[in-house]
Chains A and B, each alone.
Chain A
Amino acid sequence: MTVSDNGLSQRDLFTSGVGNLRRRHFVNRALEITAWVGAVVAVGTLALVIGSVLMKGASSLNLRFLTTPTDPFGTGGGISNAIIGTGILVAVATAIAVPLGILIAIYTSELAGPRAAFTIRYVLDVLNGVPTIIVGIFIFGLMVVGHQQSGLAGSVALTIVMLPLVARSSHEVLTLVPGTVREAAMALGASKWRTVLTVVVPTAFSGMITGSLLAVARAAGETAPLLFTTSIFPNLVQTNLAQALPNIPVTIFQFSESPDPAKHAQAWAAALVLIAFVLLINVIARTFLARSRRQLGPGGR
């Protein structure tokens, strides 16, 4: 075997006989383990949350629980009024926040100058960071004081939570639309708005749906914006937006504050319904994300 000047054989250079190589192996291994532990913590936390909700809530969850309104005196009732109320609250908030958020995104990514776009995105990020309890108090002061709690006030509060999420995520997807596609449309004689409407927005559409669905999932679970705006509600199915609407998050809070242990079990069951809804929305969002990747990804050129 050939031996080099420093006394190492060629073979030594390719095995962990060299000190430096062994140290690099060790660092590599340590980092792998650290990352692996981090991943386990993340997945484990989610599994624990879902697992404990499932264990404590499953016993009270049945069809009757989903289809009858709350029973104020016992545990015979369910949460149908809260499910319907949350559905209305989130639907109204979505109907306002999604079109508005997408319009803001089209403005910031397609029409605004760089400075205006930067400012608006910055404002949206700040809005996204505002604690939701403050959003609740703000709407309380604006729409509840001097009037009464209402579903509309709750929806508007949820809209404020959703708006920056929809606008920012839509903006990101719109900027992923390749400039070459915009150029192609312009070079064919399409005006600016025609290019945006017929080429850019359709290309980004799946991605904008993904962002909007994630915002819906987030809004469905928000409690703080509803505490001041739509938390004093009757134990029956309510669909009038001018009055306070029963909703799942506040119901969970009320049940868990009850002295009756049977109500606690119902709180867990309501939590299970909420988590199942959020997970479902997330799965749907994922499928749209996959479609968006196909249209925007490197294979899409």
Chain B
Amino acid sequence: MPGIKEKVHPARLHHLQPAEGAAGRDEAQHVQDPKRAIRHVRLEGLNAFYGSQQAVRDVNLSFEPACVTGIIGPSGCGKSTLVRCINRMHEEIAGARSEGRVLLGEIDLHGDDVDVVAVRRFVGMVFQKPNPFPTMSIFGNVASGLRFTGTPRDEISDRVREALQGAGLWEEVKNRLSTSGLSLSGGQQQRLCIARALAVEPQVLLMDEPCSALDPIATLKIEELIGELKDRVTIALVTHNMQQAARVADTTAFMLDGELIEVDSTERMFTNPSDQRTEQYVTGKYG
């Protein structure tokens, strides 16, 4: 698969195995635009469990390239669990497991011989609370993912700069790259975490309520950033803030009790949803 993106060396893909049967269905799109194909995430019959408790029930959902897909729903509806299945962080929790397929392009990320490290190279994640590594500098934080994945040393400083520029943080920190990541404000820390995720050049970025610990101005900056990033990475945005979904998501999915109730263009979801439960939620009747 040459030309996916200049910097993604084909050798890095060799752990990822094509899923049986997926290739044919996706072929038309794949031929048209190979760059976009690997940014396309499809969940097929996804179930996720914590022990015997089921958190996600038979979800089929597609995350389109160059799109922000918002996932809304009341607390505990399974929206975080859903996105954590995409980069396989769900299985890190003791007793947690999942069933079904998560396709990135034509590759099943849950396949038996797929390397979880490779999955996380292609699917980055930003968490609810800014979580820079406390002992590392600003530079060290952004470089950490590159070091984990064995990027050649002479490439690191350029990639760090690019990532910080991509996260809109470069101008604010370029003169203090060696200071602790903790010296930044909450909003800056979250953009640092976004830069850290971008540095390994993922094709998909999962954002799990990235603004819930931030003030309105920092939130606005992150939302603007999401708009700028969507051409580079496919974005899955979990949010409990419906206004945020309305502002930044192109497509919005509504979940309730682990089930995907409805998914549609954001405009339709908020003005004319087809399911009564969606309408009740977006109009604030419950949740």
Tell whether A259 is near chain B: CB-to-CB under 8 Å.
Answer: no
Q: Which residues of B (89-123) have their CB < 8 Å from a CB of A?
A: 89, 92, 94, 117-118, 120-121
- Within the complex, which residue of A181, A191, A194, A299 is in contact with B133, where a contact is CB–CB below 8 Å? A181
Tell whether A199 is near chain B: CB-to-CB under 8 Å.
Answer: yes
Q: A187 near B89 (CB under 8 angstroms)?
A: yes
Q: B148 near A188 (CB under 8 angstroms)?
A: yes
Tell whether A301 is near chain B: CB-to-CB under 8 Å.
Answer: yes
Q: B134 near A189 (CB under 8 angstroms)?
A: no
User: Residues of B within 8 Å of A, CB-based: how many?
Assistant: 28
Determine how close the nearest CB of chain B comes to the CB of A287; give it in whole angstroms.
17
**Count of inter-chain pairs, beta carbons less than 8 A:** 73
Tell whether A183 is near chain B: CB-to-CB under 8 Å.
Answer: yes
Tell whether B131 is near chain A: CB-to-CB under 8 Å.
Answer: yes
Q: B127 near A189 (CB under 8 angstroms)?
A: no
Hey, which chain A residues are within 8 Å of B196, CB to CB? Answer: 184, 188
Determine how close the nearest CB of chain A comes to the CB of B144; give it in whole angstroms.
6
User: Residues of A within 8 Å of B, CB-based: how many?
Assistant: 24
- Within the complex, which residue of A187, A190, A295 is in contact with B134, where a contact is CB–CB below 8 Å? A295
Chain A 258-301 interface mask (CB, 8 Å, partner B; 1/0)? 00000000000000000000000000000000000001100111
Q: B120 near A203 (CB under 8 angstroms)?
A: no
Q: B131 near A178 (CB under 8 angstroms)?
A: yes
Q: B144 near A198 (CB under 8 angstroms)?
A: yes
Hey, which chain B residues are within 8 Å of A191, CB to CB? Answer: 117
Hey, which chain B residues are within 8 Å of A39, CB to CB? Answer: none
Tell whether A205 is near chain B: CB-to-CB under 8 Å.
Answer: yes
Hey, which chain A residues are within 8 Å of B148, CB to CB? Answer: 185, 188-190, 194, 198
Determine how close the nearest CB of chain B comes to the CB of A258; give it in whole angstroms.
52
Complex CA distance for A301 and B100, rounded to whole angstroms? 35
Hey, which chain A residues are within 8 Å of B94, CB to CB? Answer: 114
Determine how close the nearest CB of chain B comes to the CB of A80; give it in whole angstroms.
40
Q: Which residues of A (155-202) have their CB < 8 Å from a CB of B?
A: 178, 180-181, 183-191, 194, 198-199, 202
The verdict on A203 contacting B121 (CB below 8 Å), with A184-B127, A301-B129 known, is no
Q: B131 near A186 (CB under 8 angstroms)?
A: no
Determine how close the nearest CB of chain A comes to the CB of B218; give it in whole angstroms.
15
Determine how close the nearest CB of chain B comes to the CB of A221; give it in whole angstroms.
33
Determine how close the nearest CB of chain B comes to the CB of A138; give it in whole angstroms.
37
Complex CA distance for A137 and B75, rounded to whole angstroms? 59
Q: A202 near B135 (CB under 8 angstroms)?
A: yes
Tell whether B130 is near chain A: CB-to-CB under 8 Å.
Answer: yes
Q: A181 near B120 (CB under 8 angstroms)?
A: no
Hey, which chain A residues are within 8 Å of B135, CB to CB? Answer: 199, 202-203, 205, 295
The verdict on A189 contacting B120 (CB below 8 Å), with A181-B134, A183-B89, A198-B144 known, is yes
Hey, which chain A residues are within 8 Å of B87, CB to CB? Answer: 187
Q: A188 near B144 (CB under 8 angstroms)?
A: yes
Hey, which chain B residues are within 8 Å of A189, CB to CB? Answer: 117-118, 120-121, 145, 148-149, 200
Complex CA distance for A301 and B213, rounded to whole angstroms? 11
Q: Which residues of A (52-85) have their CB < 8 Å from a CB of B?
A: none
The verdict on A186 contacting B120 (CB below 8 Å), with A180-B129, A198-B144 known, is yes
Chain B 128-163 interface mask (CB, 8 Å, partner A; 1/0)? 011111110000000011011100000000000000
Determine how close the nearest CB of chain B comes to the CB of A44; give it in whole angstroms.
39
The verdict on A296 contacting B134 (CB below 8 Å), with A183-B127, A184-B193, A198-B144 known, is yes
16 contacts between A and B (CB under 8 A): A180-B129, A183-B131, A184-B127, A184-B132, A186-B92, A188-B120, A188-B148, A188-B197, A189-B148, A189-B149, A189-B200, A190-B144, A199-B144, A203-B133, A295-B135, A300-B182
Known: A181-B134, A183-B89, A190-B144. 12 other contacts (CB 8 A): A178-B131, A184-B131, A186-B120, A188-B200, A189-B118, A189-B120, A189-B121, A189-B200, A203-B133, A203-B134, A299-B182, A301-B129
